[in-house]
Amino acid sequence: MNWLTIAIASAVVFALVSILDKVILVRYIRDPRTFIVMVGFIQFPMGLVVLPFAPFESYSAVTLAAGYFSGFLWGLSLTAMFLAMSREDVSRVVPVISISPVFVAILAVIFLSEQITALQWLAIIITVAGAVVISARTSGTSRLPTFNSTFVLLIAGSICIAGGQFLTKVAAEEMGVWNLFTLRNIGLGSACVLFMFRPYVLREIVRALSNVTSAGVFFLTEGALVFIGLVLTIWAIDQGPVSLVVTAMSSRPLFVFMMSIVLSLPMWRLLNEPLDRRTLVTKIISTAMIVLGISGISLL
């Protein structure tokens, strides 16, 4: 199997994860704090399960800190994404949270003295414009677009992803993939639990896990599918050029958009996203802008 097929498969799997996350929040675990803490808790066994096959080695304090906080920032980004997803259409949330390559490029310029070409700046502008278009709202009293707190939350989440990716690059210079996977998962889980845990959450977790359907969908999504997606991502990066692999995986918002349409049709009704022409046109144009912009940042 070639790297392109693997990378696209990774994008499809993570798109399905996003769709199922929304279904869980709408149908099974409606309190976002509870869901986020459950996602946090499951990271610890996922990170530790690889230790028998990849024993932890000795690393510098800087590398250990970079590995841990790369996961911690990812945890903050997931927290922001799930809070936004509990309020907004998943097909609006995923494209905006996916613009992190914009901030990665800016961080690389500031801290690594990398250069951004004119075409890459154009790609950045297109990406940001797509995020603005898909997030803008108009009211009946004004034709000027407005932005709610969810947009700010998603931008903050995207910046956290960028910081996490940047620290991952720092840690990966010394740390092996599977040791980094373990440390990253511990950091990710601790962020989700630290900021979202409340005493009532434990009671809600017990209630969610006592329901066979909700427990099954949760572990299928956050356990099996996420693990498969991560393995596919690592496999694709190992088999092909990183810039091209990242570009292929940036197609995730398009798959989310297509899945959200299908699952909002009357015959399924797993989601309840609007299917009017104006909304669909806005989403497809802005999502395409974001995907093309991210691809441009990686390739140009």
Give the tokens for residue 192: 């989700």
Backbone angles phi, psi at 137, to 5 degrees: -130, 150
User: In which band, very low, low, confident or very high, does the pLDDT at 113 lie, cut at 50, 70 and 90?
Assistant: confident
Q: Is the pLDDT of residue 85 over 90?
A: yes
pLDDT at 70 over 90: yes
Task: Give residue 243's pLDDT.
Answer: 67
Reported as a single tens digit per residue, the pLDDT across 207-247 is 999 999 999 999 999 999 998 998 898 788 778 876 677 77
In this prediction, residue 141 carries a pLDDT of 52
| Helix (H), strand (E) counts: the chain | 14, 0
45 exposed, middle or buried (CB, 10 Å; 0-12, 13-18, 19+)?
Answer: exposed
- Percent of the chain whose pLDDT exceeds 90: 52
Give Cα separations from 273 to 8, 188, 258, 296 (angstroms). 25, 29, 12, 29
Domain that holds residue 77: 3-299
pLDDT in tens, 119-128: 888 988 898 8
- Percentage of residues in the chain having pLDDT higher than 70: 95
Scanning the structure block, which residue is given the tokens 């459950």? 38
Of the listed ranges 49-58, 80-89, 129-138, 253-262, the least confidently predicted one is: 129-138
Cα 2 to chain center, whole Å? 24
Residue 153: pLDDT band with limits 50, 70, 90: very high
Total domains in the fold of the chain: 1
Does position 144 have pLDDT exceeding 60, yes or no?
no
Contact 138, 144 (CB under 8 A): yes
